Structure 1
């Protein structure tokens, strides 16, 4: 299926979007090596979706992944009872991945993964996403990023303003990534578990507490 952005640019997709046949071709030439997938975990998105289901069932929070509106422009009907989408467009640029309500606060966050062991690249964060999160903060909501360093199996909740500092620096000609050491010193690490899979609300509690302190100092 071909999907395009609102400006007509082709959507390249992600590794998760690749057809199974394409993935299978990549394994050719490895017959002499035993491949083990036992340690391959779910994606960050899968873990967050499972966590949000748990939060909802336990009535702890109401947070969901935002649906992305798509305009379908070409459909094939190989059979009367089947339809295959061949081409579609994103109607509007996406804002952030997740939003909802927790303990009376509006929650809005973006989830990102990187294979890098030393830094988080900023190239996949778009200006309209930063503008959206800034507007959330302006309305006294809680905005943040959840970043997974997949190679290291470490996950962090990082405040919007930390990312914004490096993002603004990048626009002014500075480095195009955030060093891993910044996550260790300025972000909140969250650990994978069983139920919930990735308990990020503990970190959100810290963000809410810090927000309350800042607002009290401003009065």
Structure 2
């Protein structure tokens, strides 16, 4: 028996196929599909095709009850998932460190900032200080968005100053970059990374920082 930090039982995710639109794209309106499963498939596509090496960090587990029916065997009877101390995914693309978190919401009007923890925000700030590429992938309002960490920091600080505790739909659509959903890869976020960080102007800026 494995539980999350809030005590709820863990049920293994079932990978359910995406719902195809008549236009050939995929919709996130079917909540049976999981963001995590699709990101894992996307990362596998990147790896197999030599595009990038990105992996999901394993969630730490605290074992609290172990049974030893035999000397040579141990059976875990009860365990809990610990709260993640950093972000969900990290890796490398074109020699640059990639670090991001994946979140989703069922709200039709906003994305609650309570989905993030203070230590995750601090981790992302430290990554950016070291020149890493840091962002959030958010599944919301039937679409998937790439939100740069710098924009997330703005909304987080606004909350800290007694501002709204969520990102409105209009704000996310304005600050975020819509990721076109497809079959393979399913969530091609590297295309956004390429546009934002590896255009001619961005590459010249990165080169100047290395000199």
Q: TM-score, normalised by structure 2?
A: 0.79
Counterpart position of 2:25: none
Which residue is equivalent to 1:103?
94
Q: 2:188 aligns with which of 199, 206, 215?
A: 199
Counterparts of 1:46-57 in structure 2, within 5 Å, are 46-57=37-48
1:104 and 1:128 map into 2 onto residues whose CA distance is: 26
Deviation at 1:13, TM superposition (A): 4.6
| CA distance in structure 2 between the aligned counterparts of 1:214 and 1:169, rounded to whole angstroms | 33
1:52-105 Cα shifts (integer Å, max 9, x gaps): 001000010000000123231212367987724313463x74210000001111
Distance 1:140 1:115, change over 3 A: same
Length-normalised TM-score, structure 1? 0.76
- Aligned Cα root-mean-square deviation (Å): 2.9
Cα distance change of structure 1 residues 19 and 61 upon mapping to structure 2, 3 Å threshold: closer
Distance in structure 2 (CA, Å) of the matches to 1:13 and 1:101: 34
| Runs of 4+ deviating beyond 4 Å | 77-82, 213-216
Q: Alignment partner for residue 212 of structure 1, among 163, 185, 202?
A: 202
Deviation of 1:187 after TM superposition, in Å, equals 1.2
Which 5+ residue runs of structure 1 have no aligned equivalent?
5-9, 21-38
The count of corresponding residues between Structure 1 and Structure 2 is 190
Q: Offset at 1:117?
A: 1.4
The verdict on how the C-alpha distance between 1:159 and 1:147 changes in structure 2, with shifts beyond 3 A counting, is: same
Matched, 1:185 2:177: no
- Counterpart for residue 142 of structure 2: 153
1:58 to 40, 45, 49: 49
